[in-house]
Chain A
Amino acid sequence: MATRDSLIQVTDLKKYYNKGAIKALDGVTVDINKGDVMVVIGPSGSGKSTFLRSLNLLEEPTGGSIVFDGVDITKKKVKNAEGKMVKLDIDQHRQKMGMVFQHFNLFPHMTILDNMTLAPIQVKHVDKAAAEEKALALLDRVGLKDRAGAYPIQLSGGQKQRVAIVRALAMEPEVMLFDEPTSALDPEMVGEVLDVMKGLAQEGMTMVVVTHEMGFAREVGNRVLFMADGKLLEQGSPEDIFGNPQHPRLQDFLSKVL
């Protein structure tokens, strides 16, 4: 494979609670490259979600750095183009990171179309007609164009999650973060959501996916991270991780889930 541009460099990322008594993240270092489909697996409580949520600062890390597009977003103040220290505008960076949640988090008081056009119109100042046209095209792609005028409560779980994915895509992010996107779904709806994600991966979208779907990790991921107790214990290609696990914790974990 050709060398890839690094997009996010995470160095020694730490997240402590209760003054260090609980270490949700205990020094995670990893590079995320453009076009990576990085799947994070591990037992519950291992820090997978905290890691993902730290990437767009929904969790404020206790230590370490996250360099995204050349800017350390864990700093409160950063140097601007003229070398002056200015307050970091985290909203600007979050626009470039789409996030999909376990519980969808669609806005219940808005139609599907409004859910999708709110951020492009308010944040990117796209005009309404263009935003709606784009939103409808995206909805069409996931087979939900005819539900544009519906409210979230009228949709099934799988439909909601597909909307949540395209809502994030409407902002044209550089990377998509998935926080257990299928864990709250009925089993028969998992497939439709994974299919959408598979399609995204094939288009070359950079993705970080926290999931319990080992089939997805093996089939779609190009890198797999195994986390336990807030530490990154093993990483490698899906073939290595699933075919030739080294760390005893990983071997133990795989014996339970496979």
Chain B
Amino acid sequence: MDHFIQLENFSKIAPYAQLFWQGLLVTVLLSLFTVVIGFVLALILALMRMSNVRPFRALGLDKDGHQKEEGFLLALSKFNPLSFLATAYVEILRSTPVLVQVMIIYFGVFGIIQLPSFQLFGFIKFNRFFPGVVALGMNSGAYLCEIIRSGLQSVDGGQTEAARSLGLTQKQNLRFIILPQAVKNILPAIANEFVVIIKESAITYTIGVQDIMSAVNAVKGATFIIIEPLLVATAIYFCLCFPTSKVIAYFERRMSRGDKR
């Protein structure tokens, strides 16, 4: 009977080490770009969600300039199109599988927009890599938006009341009181999202991005060995994610030190 793992298979896949190395680089680059795009997008979305743009505001006032008490016009006066769009985006992206999103971006959006086919660093196919980054960035933007928003809202409401009662404007309150306190709550969650992105990036192999999983596939196709390359991939992902989350935990502990006497 065959063994589950055969040691000599590892030596058979050794010649393909270069593929794994390149796959590792692609995965790391993919994750880094995704985090940057996701974070910028998330900031914009979070600001849109918490903005106070109300184009129909005037409809909610009666002729004395008081706020109306009820009615359709009051509801309309509170309508914020920016917040509506951002909320719709976040909810749609969070309620559909990332695999579907990656496929739609690759076959849909970049099926129409033709990307130049050159190779970054000599081995990364740009017309596969770029759609992968866009799709993952759009997806993580939705999740990071919720992290940022909940971080801002986690600051006690009394803080805003105290700031506003001292005469600080909404902007000054955000800048001096809310943001500094929120960042401490947000940072660990953002770092955890980074670990999630590293793992999720494996899905881009379905559109031909040459990451770690695509190396596994290539080895499988050439040698008909499957379990051993998968174990190598497992080890690489573990070595990426485990130390990252440990480093995060360390910083989390350090930051909470300020909360003690």
CB <8 Å contact, B158 and A103: yes
User: Shortest CB–CB separation between residue B168 and chain A, in angstroms?
Assistant: 6
In the bound complex, do residue B168 and residue A123 qualify as a contact, i.e. CB atoms below 8 Å apart? yes
B249 at the interface (CB under 8 A from A): no
If A19-B69, A109-B180 touch, does A58 touch B172 (CB 8 Å cutoff)? no
Contact A74 B66, beta carbon cutoff 8 Å? yes
Partner of B165, one of A19, A78, A97, A107: A97
Interface residue B50 (Cβ < 8 Å from any Cβ of A): no
Q: In the bound complex, do residue A91 and residue B159 qualify as a contact, i.e. CB atoms below 8 Å apart?
A: no
- The 8 A CB mask of B66-77 against A (1 = contact, 0 = none) is 110110000000
Question: For this complex, into which size category does the number of interface residues on chain B fall?
Answer: 20 to 34
CB-CB under 8 A from A106, the residues of chain B are: 162
With A58-B164, A58-B165 in contact, do A108 and B65 touch (Cβ < 8 Å)?
Answer: no
* A17 and B168 alpha carbons, distance in the complex (Å): 27
The answer on a CB contact under 8 Å between B167 and A95 is yes
CA distance A123 to B67 in the complex (A): 27
- Given the complex of chains A and B, what is the CA–CA distance between A244 and B172 in angstroms? 49
* Closest CB in chain A relative to B208 CB, distance in Å: 47
Q: Is A62 an interface residue (CB 8 A)?
A: yes
Write out the residue numbers on chain B whose beta carbons fall within 8 Å of the beta carbon of A224.
none
Check B261 against A154 for contact (C-beta < 8 Å): yes
Q: For B176, list chain A residues within 8 Å (CB).
A: 118, 122
CB closest chain-B residue, reference A64: B66
Using Cβ atoms and an 8 Å threshold, which residues of chain A touch B67? 60, 62, 76
B177 within 8 A of A: yes
| Residue pair B161, A107 in contact (C-beta under 8 Å) | no
A window 79-121: CB within 8 A of B: 85, 91-92, 94-95, 97-99, 101, 103, 105-109, 118-119
**Cα–Cα distance between A168 and B69 once the two chains are bound (Å):** 33
B167 cross-chain contacts in A, Cβ below 8 A: 91-92, 94-95, 119, 123-124, 171
**A223 touches B (CB below 8 Å):** no
Give the size category of A's interface with B: 35 or more
- Judged by a CB distance under 8 angstroms, whether A153 is at the interface is yes
Partner of A101, one of B161, B169, B172, B259: B161
Cβ-based interface call for B115 (8 A): no
Choose from B64, B156, B158, B166 the contact partner of A94 (Cβ within 8 Å): B166
* A153 CA / B258 CA spacing, docked (Å): 10
Within 8 A of A (CB), among B226-261: 258-261
Quick check: B159 and A105 within 8 Å, CB to CB?
Answer: yes
CB-CB under 8 A from A101, the residues of chain B are 158, 161-162
Collect the chain B residues with CB atoms within 8 Å of residue A124's CB: 167
Question: Closest 5 A-B residue pairs measured CB to CB?
Answer: A95-B167, A105-B162, A119-B166, A99-B165, A105-B158
Q: Which residues of A contact B (CB under 8 A)?
A: 16, 19-20, 56, 58, 60, 62-63, 74-78, 85, 91-92, 94-95, 97-99, 101, 103, 105-109, 118-119, 122-124, 153-154, 164, 167-168, 171
B residues apposed to A, CB below 8 Å: 61, 64-67, 69-70, 156, 158-159, 161-169, 172, 176-177, 180-181, 184, 258-261
**Can you list 29 A-B pairs with a CB-CB distance of less than 8 A?**
A16-B69, A19-B69, A62-B67, A63-B69, A75-B64, A75-B65, A76-B66, A85-B65, A92-B167, A94-B164, A94-B166, A95-B166, A105-B156, A105-B159, A105-B161, A106-B162, A107-B159, A107-B162, A107-B163, A107-B177, A108-B181, A109-B258, A119-B167, A123-B172, A153-B259, A153-B261, A154-B261, A164-B162, A168-B165
Known: A58-B165, A105-B159, A107-B163. 7 other contacts (CB 8 A): A91-B167, A107-B159, A119-B167, A119-B168, A123-B166, A153-B260, A171-B167
